[in-house]
């Protein structure tokens, strides 16, 4: 049953992309409150705190960036196969290293996925070039199309450019943060993630599987700036998934999982142009 459970988990999470992580702010100090808009608020004998307007203007200058991201899903799974039931804790770790060019609409992302218990590791790579998406998995490249992948490629592209690290951060900088603090030379801004955005992020888990129901709540986003420059952030939210299917023998299967997603990312090499090449050979 464990093998079946992990297979079903991979089905649920196969389309996960994502991203952008903790429900609190450990290590933060010198908390300030207020709208964080308008006139810049100086800290006595300390560094300048930038307004959201100033931070947003600086972020609008970003055309390319590199990011490193660690995402963990900690889930409690209840598996029912016919009259048999099993409960197990599962952790899935995603490690991403990516480059995104917002100006030329291209990206290159390496993803390593490790699943526990067991420690099985899978490497994939994504290339986005204009309106085309290429995926490297199981030793070969595949070009995604609506027909062959049963996925809406345009929807994936729209998600990529709206919810990449920088675009997602800019979206929230236009709003009033729920809290602002300063720690270790870094300005920290916190935002509750809207239901609309949580649902959009969560939809990446579903892929083309219509047998999965998914609900996400309690989303919190932390954005980090150092000397007014975007350097990364964290995000967290609660996730609940249910998958119902039937084995070839006719036995009904239900997987119900509840847990949390924690994500932390670092942004580097801002406006450093890097090449993104289409794979020399691929299957369509």
User: Is residue 17 over pLDDT 70?
Assistant: no
User: Is residue 79 over pLDDT 50?
Assistant: yes
**Among 282, 238, 241, 275, which Cα is nearest to 260's?**
238
The three-state secondary structure class of 62 is coil
pLDDT in the model for residue 213: 86
Q: Per-residue pLDDT averaged across 254-271, rounded?
A: 95
Q: Per-residue pLDDT averaged across 79-86, rounded?
A: 93
pLDDT in the model for residue 208: 53
User: Is residue 20 over pLDDT 50?
Assistant: no
253 vs 35, more confident? 253
pLDDT in the model for residue 45: 53
The three-state secondary structure class of 88 is strand
Could you tell me the pLDDT band of residue 29, with boundaries at 50, 70 and 90? very low
pLDDT in the model for residue 211: 77
C-alpha separations of 67 from 70, 98, 117, 141, 211 in Å: 10, 5, 28, 23, 33
Indicate the range of 29-33, 210-214, 240-244, 260-264 predicted with least confidence.
29-33
Q: Per-residue pLDDT averaged across 220-228, rounded?
A: 97
pLDDT in the model for residue 200: 86
pLDDT in the model for residue 153: 86
pLDDT in the model for residue 11: 40
Q: How far is residue 156's CA from residue 250's CA, in Å, rounded to a whole number?
A: 34
177 vs 205, more confident? 177
pLDDT in tens, 154-178: 888 988 999 999 999 999 999 999 9
pLDDT in the model for residue 34: 39
User: Is residue 206 over pLDDT 90?
Assistant: no
Contacts of 107 (CB under 8 A, 6+ apart): 98, 99, 100, 101, 126, 127, 128, 160, 164, 276
Most confident of 4-18, 28-42, 188-202: 188-202
User: Is residue 278 over pLDDT 80?
Assistant: yes
User: Is residue 77 over pLDDT 90?
Assistant: yes
Q: How far is residue 159's CA from residue 177's CA, in Å, rounded to a whole number?
A: 23
pTM (2 d.p.): 0.81
What mean pLDDT is reported for the chain?
Answer: 84
Could you tell me the pLDDT band of residue 189, with boundaries at 50, 70 and 90? very high
Q: How far is residue 40's CA from residue 5's CA, in Å, rounded to a whole number?
A: 53
Could you tell me the pLDDT band of residue 205, with boundaries at 50, 70 and 90? low
Q: Per-residue pLDDT averaged across 169-195, rounded?
A: 95
pLDDT in the model for residue 38: 42
User: Is residue 126 over pLDDT 60?
Assistant: yes
Q: Per-residue pLDDT averaged across 89-93, rounded?
A: 94
**Among 135, 145, 171, 132, which Cα is nearest to 15's?**
135
């Amino acid at each position: 049953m464990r093998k079946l459970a992990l297979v079903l988990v991979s089905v649920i999470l196969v389309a996960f992309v994502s991203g952008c992580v903790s429900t609190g702010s450990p290590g933060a100090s010198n908390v300030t409150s207020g709208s964080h808009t308008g006139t810049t608020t100086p800290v006595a004998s300390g560094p300048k705190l930038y307004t959201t307007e100033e931070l947003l203007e600086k972020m609008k200058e970003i055309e390319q960036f590199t990011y490193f991201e660690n995402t963990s899903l900690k889930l409690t799974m209840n598996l029912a196969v016919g009259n048999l039931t099993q409960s197990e804790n599962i952790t899935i770790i995603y490690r991403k290293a990516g480059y995104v060019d917002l100006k030329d609409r291209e990206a290159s992302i390496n993803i390593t996925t490790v699943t526990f218990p067991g420690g099985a590791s899978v490497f994939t790579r994504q290339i986005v070039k204009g309106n085309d998406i290429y995926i490297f998995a199981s030793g070969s490249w595949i070009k995604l199309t609506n027909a062959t992948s049963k996925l809406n490629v345009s929807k994936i592209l729209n998600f990529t450019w709206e919810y990449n690290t920088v675009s997602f951060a800019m979206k929230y900088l236009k709003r009033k943060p729920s809290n602002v603090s300063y720690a270790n030379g870094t300005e920290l801004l916190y935002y509750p993630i809207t239901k609309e955005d949580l649902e959009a992020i969560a939809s990446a888990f579903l892929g083309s599987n219509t047998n999965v129901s998914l609900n996400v709540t309690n989303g919190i986003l932390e954005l980090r700036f150092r000397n007014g420059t975007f350097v990364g952030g964290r995000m967290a939210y609660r996730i609940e998934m249910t998958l119902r299917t039937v084995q070839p023998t006719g036995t009904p299967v239900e997987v119900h999982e509840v847990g949390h997603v924690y994500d932390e990312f670092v942004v580097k090499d801002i406006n450093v142009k890097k090449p993104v090449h289409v794979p020399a050979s691929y299957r369509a």
